Chain A
Amino acid sequence: MPAKRNIRARKPAARKAPRPKLEEAAQWVGKPLPRKEEGRLVRGKGKFVDDYELPGMLHLWLVRSPYGHARVTHIDVSQAEAQPGVVCTLTGPEVAKLVRPFLEIGPEPGAKIVDYPMGVDKVRYQGEPVAAVVAETALAAADAAELVRVDYEPLPAVVDPEDALRDATLLHESAGTNVVWQGEFDYGDVDKAFQQAAHIVHIDRLHFHRFTSAPLEPNAVIAQWDPGEDFITFWCNNSFPAFAIQFLALALGIRIDQMRVQTYDIGGSFGIKITNYPYMALCALASRKAGGRPVKWIETRTDHMTASAHGNERVFRSTRVALDTSGRILAIESRHIDDCGAYPRYEPLGCIIWAQVLPGAYRFRNYRVRFTQVTTNKCPVGPNRGYSRMQHLWFLERVVDICAHALGIPADEMRRRNYIRADEFPYTTPNGCVYDSGDYARMLALAQERIGWDDWKEKQRRARAEGRLVGIGIGTTLDSGTNNFGQSRLLNPNAPFSGQSGVAIVKLGIDGNISVSLGSVPQGQGHETTSAQVVADVLNVTPELVSVRPGFDTERNAHTGHSGTYASQFAVTGLSAAHGAAQKLKAEMKRLAVFALNAKEDKLEFGMGAQGPEVRVRGSDKAIPYWGLANLVNVNNAVLPAKLQDVTLNCRYVYRPPFRLPDLKRKYGNLTLTYSAQLHIAVIEVDRDTYVPRILDYAVVDDCGRVVNPLIVEGQVHGATAHGIGAALLETCSYDENGNLRNATFSDYVPITSVNMPTLRTGHLESPSPFTFNGAKGMGEGGGAPLHAISAALQDALYAQGVIIDDSHNNASSLFHLLERTRAGRAAQIVRVESRAAAARR
């Protein structure tokens, strides 16, 4: 057995570890630690896909449909192929021979949809690729792409989801209908609740608009299909690679282990990059056709806006709300039509994901909805930040807000009467989801305090006396995180997915350095930093001593079929995995130290010594540095006894949340593990002459359980707020009746900038989750609270004018039309109140 002194003598020379005292190193979780990622990124040394130059690399340029709906009658690539520098081309019909259609997640009729990575005999949205040119340079490919001749026979387009329901124009003849999925959700006793209601509020139509979080880095792929090994390497920015490889393997007819997928720095995704796998397939096919040379494709912004992915659009039809005399909601009944664009891809998952937050923040127990999803001649949707829950929560907040106005109940009082109460957590929703913790009324009080509610009410009264249109609106939202894929069975009983998992590998390397590999695909969420905090706490070192591999790589084997970054879950799945792996490593280190130090396990402590981190025997000078333990296993293992031969110091841990399959018949079960909440209050003035809405004040309160890194959490809250404000007032994907996207550049789409982003008054509450190891909850998506709060504030500003805010996107032009419509008496039917005092008395 090596003596302590010998081990120390072998210490590598260049070890510059900070030496904090043990107590200081004890708790890194919870500290506002600046991110490890910043160093490379502020220097411009991040590595994004377009930064890679590989030997022999070719460039792919796509020819895309200018039509929203058309038959492709002829494609001629001969002129393009004759251009200097052009290596090969691909066309839709050729691609259809080389691949199988992508898997459809849902059952029939959606399952009958045929989805290839290129339009074959038809194009179904503007920007759908029909051909590709591969050349030595991107410019040569772009030049030659202009010489590809495509003959189209334009078809009538269907862009409105309710029009699509009529099936007058069919997108997918193979399905025979535009309906992708439909189902009934019925909980409690809705009919009885309506019989007992004192008031019934009817809301004819509400509309959640289509927008995209538009990451600043467009989609990008480099693929190399090695012909010798029949092996594909992808450098890409797909944000859910475990999903992508399962889709790609089936489509390309290869095994998953014939692919390597790597990401490094990603310039934002917000869910949009989950569905860029069709482009991964095209680059792979192009590489194979080009003899195995790597092929790079970088999306242009216009192509990103027209043809990457948008968020789901949804129409809420014929809503009826039953309330008691005091304004407590008893039941809601409605019909929802979700528009997934031209191809379902990640859909129809959005048809169930909303049900994670079925009652929102509210106590009602009776709910019935007929949910239908349709295809339209628009860009396919992707799981955009706040995915599917945001749409539903906006609907509920409109319902609560409209009912409050209709019954003359103050907006804050209406919410307090209806919120789930703090003493009711963990709270089981009507459909079996379990809200872990929270205190919505306290969040409201805190937000009111931050904004200066009473003060604003007084200012509003004075402004109204002058005829000004000032409104104050509340938006309550939830960010459900760590989803149970078992919910997919509620859409398709045969779907082979359920549960959830996160993976991490924590390793003590040959030289004793601690490294972490994650199964996540960060795009700015600081996973390198927060996982280092967690591991540092377990191993009692500083986070600087924990190196976390940037990005994702299937070759690290730190992934399962769930791995990716989506669904507000890293704080739970990723950090639980990192925690579990670090604990496994610590247990192995202890076993080694018991042997090396000839000490009892309960006498060992982990901490910083003179030579860096060490395991020592409490109350003695016996210690072995971490590198000494690594030495024993990796390069000096002839000394190890048989009982330690299983120790690797390379510890992989898979975290699995305790999910079960939902009850398919009742559509009942726990669909997500944690529930973060945000409460926003917006004060808005609508200019009387120009109708320009202007934010006068804005407060944001968030509660995501125990905070792992306050700096990162605050950043996520700010970012989600900007996306929501942008979406509420600026950003919308506007299509004409032929399926032309009218605002396909940033100059037309106008993403929110520094001049129209208000200063935020922030507040924070911590309701630790009882379901996670450290009380943390996922929180990155945010839940779209600004959409709710801004709609409510505009409603408050304009209710006296008779206006009902029925759309999630409002700008000067739409507000002008809304007021005009109201003045012409055409808005009166949107909301109708039926009060039955007799029923209330019973």
Chain B
Amino acid sequence: MPDEIPRVPIALRVNGKRYALEVEPRLLLVDFLRRELRLTGTHVGCDTTYCGACTVLLNGVSVKSCTALAVQADQSEVLTVEGLEQDGRLHPLQQAFADHHGLQCGYCTPGMLLSAYQLLAKSPNPSEAEMRKGIAGNTCRCTGYQNIFKAIRAAAAQMRGR
């Protein structure tokens, strides 16, 4: 094991804000967000790309940030849960999750919101099957998904109405 691990410079935008840092090549994107940028809304639940608690959008596409390296996000645009609220107003998905009790412990919620965000970006009026598939990569151990479905439907309706 080398004493000094060479660091690699990366530059990216996270939630609209520019960052230029040097990171260890092996640093995971999720650890970069949580430890380097202190954006702790993105959580780690499983380490094997199953649970989706770490889901963020990388250039508009949902990725599990526990399975991406920070260096892979170089020159990219990242959206995390902290970037959903705009001008002190919750995103309709955040509001709908709160209104419909679409969360309990809240640990899966940030990743769930970003998967739902991508789902509605692709399909503003998702069918039941599309919705289930859209969040199939996000495990929730509390809600049994019922209220998450309700919340996504409500947010979709509201976003279509805008």
What is A's interface to B at a CB cutoff of 8 Å?
Answer: 34-35, 37-46, 48, 50-51, 53, 83-84, 139, 143, 213-218, 265-268, 270, 298, 300-302, 523-526, 711-712, 714-715, 718-723, 745-747, 751, 753-755, 757, 759-760
Contacts known (A714-B101, A755-B136); A51 close to B141, Cβ less than 8 A: no
Q: Is the CB of A751 within 8 A of B139?
A: yes
A270 vs B143: C-alpha distance in the bound complex, in angstroms?
A: 13
Q: Which chain A residue has the least Cβ–Cβ distance from B2?
A: A84
Q: Which chain A residue has the least Cβ–Cβ distance from B114?
A: A44
What is B's interface to A at a CB cutoff of 8 Å?
Answer: 1, 3, 24, 26, 34-35, 38-51, 53, 80-82, 84-85, 90, 94-95, 97-99, 101, 103-110, 113, 131-133, 135-149
Q: Which chain A residue has the least Cβ–Cβ distance from B106?
A: A41
- In angstroms, how far is the closest chain B Cβ from the Cβ of A754? 5
Q: What are 27 A-to-B residue pairs whose CB atoms are below 8 Å?
A: A35-B98, A38-B98, A42-B97, A42-B106, A43-B41, A43-B85, A44-B40, A44-B41, A44-B80, A44-B82, A45-B82, A215-B141, A216-B139, A266-B105, A267-B107, A524-B104, A524-B105, A715-B143, A719-B104, A723-B141, A745-B47, A753-B137, A754-B135, A754-B149, A757-B144, A757-B145, A760-B146
Q: Is the CB of A753 within 8 A of B139?
A: yes
Q: Is the CB of B144 within 8 A of A722?
A: yes
**Chain A residues in 8 Å Cβ range of B141:** 213-216, 268, 270, 719, 722-723, 751
Contacts known (A751-B139, A754-B132); A48 close to B43, Cβ less than 8 A: yes
Contacts known (A43-B81, A216-B51, A217-B43); A48 close to B98, Cβ less than 8 A: no
- In angstroms, how far is the closest chain B Cβ from the Cβ of A752? 8
A50 vs B103: C-alpha distance in the bound complex, in angstroms?
A: 20
**Chain B residues in 8 Å Cβ range of A270:** 141
A139 vs B143: C-alpha distance in the bound complex, in angstroms?
A: 33
**Chain B residues in 8 Å Cβ range of A51:** 34, 40
A487 vs B99: C-alpha distance in the bound complex, in angstroms?
A: 41
Q: Is the CB of A754 within 8 A of B138?
A: yes
**Chain B residues in 8 Å Cβ range of A35:** 98, 101
- In angstroms, how far is the closest chain B Cβ from the Cβ of A698? 11
Q: Is the interface of A mostly helix, strand, loop or mixed?
A: loop
- In angstroms, how far is the closest chain A Cβ from the Cβ of B64? 12
Q: Is the CB of A754 within 8 A of B50?
A: no
Q: Which chain B residue has the least Cβ–Cβ distance from A750?
A: B50
Q: Which chain B residue has the least Cβ–Cβ distance from A744?
A: B48
Q: Is the interface of B mostly helix, strand, loop or mixed?
A: loop
Q: Is the CB of B142 within 8 A of A754?
A: no
A65 vs B131: C-alpha distance in the bound complex, in angstroms?
A: 42
A760 vs B34: C-alpha distance in the bound complex, in angstroms?
A: 36
A-B residue pairs, 9 tightest by C-beta = A44-B41, A267-B107, A524-B104, A41-B106, A722-B144, A524-B105, A44-B81, A718-B144, A38-B98
Q: Which chain B residue has the least Cβ–Cβ distance from A41?
A: B106
- In angstroms, how far is the closest chain B Cβ from the Cβ of A75? 20
Q: Is the CB of A525 within 8 A of B50?
A: no
The 8 Å CB contact of B139, one of A41, A50, A298, A746, is A746
- In angstroms, how far is the closest chain B Cβ from the Cβ of A189? 43
Q: Which chain B residue has the least Cβ–Cβ distance from A302?
A: B47
- In angstroms, how far is the closest chain A Cβ from the Cβ of B51? 6
Q: Is the CB of A301 within 8 A of B46?
A: yes
The 8 Å CB contact of A711, one of B38, B84, B90, B101, is B101
Q: Which chain B residue has the least Cβ–Cβ distance from A37?
A: B106
Q: Is the CB of A34 within 8 A of B103?
A: no
**Chain A residues in 8 Å Cβ range of B46:** 301, 745-746
**Chain A residues in 8 Å Cβ range of B99:** 34
A302 vs B146: C-alpha distance in the bound complex, in angstroms?
A: 28
A109 vs B137: C-alpha distance in the bound complex, in angstroms?
A: 46
Question: Which of B101, B105, B149 has the most chain A CB within a 10 Å cutoff?
Answer: B105
A722 vs B108: C-alpha distance in the bound complex, in angstroms?
A: 15
A720 vs B141: C-alpha distance in the bound complex, in angstroms?
A: 9
Q: Is the CB of B147 within 8 A of A715?
A: yes
Q: Is the CB of B144 within 8 A of A745?
A: no
A43 vs B39: C-alpha distance in the bound complex, in angstroms?
A: 11
The 8 Å CB contact of A721, one of B34, B51, B97, B144, is B144
- In angstroms, how far is the closest chain A Cβ from the Cβ of B55? 12
**Chain B residues in 8 Å Cβ range of A217:** 43, 45, 105, 107
A440 vs B82: C-alpha distance in the bound complex, in angstroms?
A: 47
Q: Is the CB of A84 within 8 A of B3?
A: yes
- In angstroms, how far is the closest chain B Cβ from the Cβ of A530? 12
Q: A213-B141, A216-B107, A712-B101 are in contact. List 14 more A-B contacts (CB 8 A).
A: A41-B109, A43-B41, A44-B81, A267-B106, A268-B142, A302-B48, A524-B103, A718-B147, A723-B141, A745-B48, A753-B137, A754-B133, A755-B132, A760-B146
**Chain A residues in 8 Å Cβ range of B40:** 44, 48, 50-51
**Chain A residues in 8 Å Cβ range of B104:** 268, 523-526, 715, 719
**Chain B residues in 8 Å Cβ range of A37:** 106
Q: Is the CB of A43 within 8 A of B94?
A: yes
Contacts known (A84-B3, A217-B45); A48 close to B110, Cβ less than 8 A: no
Contacts known (A216-B53, A715-B142, A754-B138); A301 close to B43, Cβ less than 8 A: no
Q: Is the CB of B41 within 8 A of A747?
A: no
Q: Is the CB of A45 within 8 A of B148?
A: no
A41 vs B103: C-alpha distance in the bound complex, in angstroms?
A: 8
A35 vs B106: C-alpha distance in the bound complex, in angstroms?
A: 12
Contacts known (A41-B109, A268-B107); A759 close to B146, Cβ less than 8 A: yes
- In angstroms, how far is the closest chain A Cβ from the Cβ of B32? 12
- In angstroms, how far is the closest chain A Cβ from the Cβ of B4? 9
Q: Is the CB of A143 within 8 A of B136?
A: no
**Chain A residues in 8 Å Cβ range of B133:** 754-755
A300 vs B44: C-alpha distance in the bound complex, in angstroms?
A: 9
**Chain A residues in 8 Å Cβ range of B135:** 754
Question: Which of B24, B94, B142 has the most chain A CB within a 10 Å cutoff?
Answer: B142
**Chain B residues in 8 Å Cβ range of A721:** 144
**Chain B residues in 8 Å Cβ range of A757:** 144-146
The 8 Å CB contact of A718, one of B49, B97, B105, B143, is B143
Q: Which chain A residue has the least Cβ–Cβ distance from B97?
A: A42
A298 vs B40: C-alpha distance in the bound complex, in angstroms?
A: 14
**Chain B residues in 8 Å Cβ range of A46:** 41, 106-107
- In angstroms, how far is the closest chain A Cβ from the Cβ of B82? 5
A270 vs B142: C-alpha distance in the bound complex, in angstroms?
A: 9
A526 vs B103: C-alpha distance in the bound complex, in angstroms?
A: 10
Contacts known (A46-B106, A216-B45, A268-B142); A34 close to B98, Cβ less than 8 A: yes
Question: Which of B3, B41, B46, B51 has the most chain A CB within a 10 Å cutoff?
Answer: B46
Contacts known (A35-B101, A746-B139, A754-B132); A42 close to B47, Cβ less than 8 A: no
**Chain A residues in 8 Å Cβ range of B3:** 84
**Chain A residues in 8 Å Cβ range of B144:** 718-722, 757, 760
Contacts known (A83-B1, A718-B144); A39 close to B132, Cβ less than 8 A: no
- In angstroms, how far is the closest chain A Cβ from the Cβ of B72? 18
A39 vs B109: C-alpha distance in the bound complex, in angstroms?
A: 12
Contacts known (A524-B106, A722-B145); A43 close to B90, Cβ less than 8 A: yes
Q: Which chain B residue has the least Cβ–Cβ distance from A52?
A: B40
Q: Is the CB of B105 within 8 A of A268?
A: yes
**Chain A residues in 8 Å Cβ range of B43:** 48, 50, 216-217, 267
Q: Is the CB of B1 within 8 A of A42?
A: no
Q: Is the CB of B48 within 8 A of A38?
A: no
A38 vs B140: C-alpha distance in the bound complex, in angstroms?
A: 15
- In angstroms, how far is the closest chain B Cβ from the Cβ of A608? 25
A156 vs B90: C-alpha distance in the bound complex, in angstroms?
A: 57
